[in-house]
A = this chain, B = another copy of it.
Amino acid sequence: MATRQKLEALVDEAKFRVRDLRKSGAAKEDVLAAMAELDIRKQKLHEELEKHKDTSFNREGFEDLMKRRFFYAPAFEIYGGTAGLYDYGPTGCAIMNNIQQEWRRHFVLEDNLLEISCPAMTPYRVLESSGHAKRFADIMVKDMQTGDCHRADHLLEDAMAAKMNDDDVTEEQKAEYARVQTMADTYTKDELKSLFEKYGIKAPITGNELSDPMDFNMMFKTEIGPTGENPGFLRPELAQGIVVAFKRLYDFNGNRLPFGGCQIGTAYRNEISPRSGLLRVREFPLAEIEYFVDPKYKDHPKFKTVADLELPLYSADDQEHGRVLTTSRLGDAVANGTIANETLAYFLARIYLFLTKIGADPKKIRFRQHLRNEMAHYACDCWDAELQTSYGWIESAACADRSCYDLEQHAKATNQELVAAERLSTPIIRDRVIADANKGLCGRQFKKDAKLLFAHLANLSNEEAEDLEAKLKEGNATLEVEGKSLEVTPEMIVIKRRQEKIHERKFVPSVIEPTFGLGRIIYAILEHSYACREGDEQRQWLSVSPLVAPVKCSLLPLSNKPDFDPLLEELCTMMTEEGITFLKDASGTSIGRRYARTDEIGIPFGVTVDFDSLQDRTVTLRDRNSMTQVRMPMDAVPRTVARLSRAQATWDDVVAEHGLCQTGSQ
């Protein structure tokens, strides 16, 4: 594995070097040399992967289970479905709810975040300011006959893959195709056009001619109201709603910084060609935090609580030098400048703790820092939390320091002051030159223009006021006010000098932005928890943590005899009162088969009511992971399961209290 990681890192490094060289307009031979190196490294990685092909994950079996037990399935399936739209079924939806509740406990409660809920429907101007209206686009090509659209980079990748498999391909050609394939998502429209012409790429399946590559904005567009004059877009992320509400939030927080606004909600992206199940969809759940800080103080009071944590940090530097992923102590990473500031580092830690708490495999988490050329121009630092799945490393959360960009953009567009203020312990004293108008005189002279004049005078800088003073010493002066020329006499204006005390410093806050793709996170933890019982390929089960498991407990009578009904009824009532979700399975099927069915949807605990129960009100409680059981009083079960499900107790605690029991099928 270490070899593979090393090789992956080397490929990444070469890839980034090629990209950099191309962006910086380097000499052609340098670019070609770098590309050749990339080819060699990719070939080595390919060989290594082939050698150790990971056959442990059975994606077909997994996907079948997801659909069969309705974790998720294509939406509107009886109508043939629509690409990129999914239903979360009862199991998937319960996991989603549990994760959202845990997210609230972990983030909102712990850091007193201000959770809000903004509309998905967003007017054009907001997304114009944020840059989405212009830049939120992919490049596509159209089938000239059918009108089908394809992402240009995807087609190019597929075409190169096909060419590499041609029988008569030379080694040299193969290297070229591989290179183009690797770079597919970096080409401009013009570059793509030449490449499509060079390789004669046609539409897949139909073989028709393709249009020139064109931009396609991925936001869903509609009209707000009936006039047709108010375009609206479905938000492609949640951040803008929070940023736009900054003033209300700052006020709500008693005008104190730092604080975080956040929301959980749905975002929409009109993908050209959705792929990879839940990973690239058109409507998806997100959770986002916008943590507003003073740009001068990005320290975090609680950073000390996480400074000793070792995180898998894949820094830009490591990527660029082809080093493998290592773990670093957060305190060190901040101290040596790998992570830009404490607040960013604090949230990286909180993200890591959250992901592991809800069941992501710690070995399959890494934080990948954006390279300089990957980051938006205004961002200071950005890290993706990636989860490893059968589709590779998937960006599932991220944490960026977006500086003051968003607030500044919206302030500019709306002419509003989106600032915070810091009370200064020592006021700053400033000399002011003020041009004061004789209001009566000016009013009589300028009538309704007088107001404009007063506003103009109030906004003069010291220099401008002194300039005016000099002119008035010579006689009348003419002022240009909102397109009008107003002639003022020396009698109308008095120049005064005084000192002003400034008690507060106003500034535009910076934003640290942790975001979470909840759908991708759910997909990844389901993959991470998918397994088969040892020695039985057919017996699939999910090891999802009790905290997020869709149903906490199964209730199984030993048989479907009515004798067990009264006790079962009692148990159901107690479970409901304790707020524990349960699944009763009183079918005649064998207890072993029923356990297997509950294992498939990840139910962590199972109660069996048997003949002894009828005598002494004891039942068995089974742990899914270890398949071990204890015998315990029925009345204590709901509270025990509640504590287990809220991570307030472990199965070991339960075993220690009640002792293992040997009876019963597993």
Known: A86-B119, A87-B118, A119-B85. A414 touches B79 (CB 8 A): yes
Chain A interface size, under 10 / 10 to 19 / 20 to 34 / 35 or more: 35 or more
Q: Which of A217-225, A338-346, A382-390, A447-455 contacts B (4 or more CB under 8 A)?
A: A217-225
Are A70 and B118 in contact, with the CB atoms below 8 A? no
Q: Which residues of B contact A228 (CB under 8 A)?
A: 147
**Interface-central residue, A82, A114, A230, A270, by most chain B CB under 10 Å:** A82
Are A225 and B126 in contact, with the CB atoms below 8 A? no
CA–CA, A297 and B315, complex, Å: 65
Is A391 part of the contact surface with B, judged by Cβ < 8 Å?
no
Name the one of B90, B101, B148 contacting A227, with C-beta atoms under 8 angstroms: B148
Residue ID in chain B nearest A410 by CB atoms: B78
Name the one of B117, B123, B216, B272 contacting A88, with C-beta atoms under 8 angstroms: B117
Q: Which residues of B contact A105 (CB under 8 A)?
A: 579
- A binding-site residues for B, Cβ under 8 Å: 69-70, 73, 75-79, 82-83, 85-90, 92-94, 96-97, 101, 104-105, 109-110, 114-123, 125-126, 140, 142, 147-149, 216, 220-230, 232, 234, 241, 244-245, 247-249, 251-252, 254, 263, 266, 268, 270-272, 282-283, 410, 413-414, 416, 418, 576, 579, 581, 587
Are B93 and A104 in contact, with the CB atoms below 8 A? no
Are B121 and A220 in contact, with the CB atoms below 8 A? yes
Q: Which residues of B contact A121 (CB under 8 A)?
A: 82, 85, 220, 268, 282-283
Are A227 and B147 in contact, with the CB atoms below 8 A? yes
CA–CA, A114 and B550, complex, Å: 11
Are B104 and A116 in contact, with the CB atoms below 8 A? no
CA–CA, A612 and B254, complex, Å: 29
CA–CA, A117 and B69, complex, Å: 15
Residue ID in chain B nearest A114 by CB atoms: B90
Are A83 and B225 in contact, with the CB atoms below 8 A? yes
Known: A148-B227, A225-B272, A268-B121. A97 touches B104 (CB 8 A): yes
Are B230 and A82 in contact, with the CB atoms below 8 A? yes
Q: Which residues of B contact A120 (CB under 8 A)?
A: 120, 266, 283
Name the one of B90, B142, B226 contacting A116, with C-beta atoms under 8 angstroms: B90
Selected A-B contacts with CB under 8 Å, 29 pairs = A70-B252, A73-B248, A77-B244, A78-B247, A78-B416, A79-B123, A79-B244, A82-B224, A82-B230, A82-B232, A87-B116, A87-B117, A88-B118, A89-B116, A90-B114, A93-B115, A93-B263, A120-B120, A120-B266, A121-B220, A142-B226, A147-B227, A148-B227, A149-B226, A220-B222, A220-B223, A225-B270, A225-B271, A234-B234
Are A283 and B252 in contact, with the CB atoms below 8 A? no
CA–CA, A252 and B249, complex, Å: 43
Are B89 and A252 in contact, with the CB atoms below 8 A? yes
Q: Which residues of B contact A581 (CB under 8 A)?
A: 109
CA–CA, A69 and B249, complex, Å: 10
Are B216 and A75 in contact, with the CB atoms below 8 A? no
Extra pairs beyond A220-B222, A226-B272 (19, CB < 8 Å): A73-B245, A78-B244, A78-B414, A85-B224, A87-B117, A87-B248, A90-B115, A93-B263, A109-B579, A119-B283, A121-B268, A140-B226, A149-B225, A149-B227, A216-B226, A220-B223, A220-B224, A223-B270, A225-B271
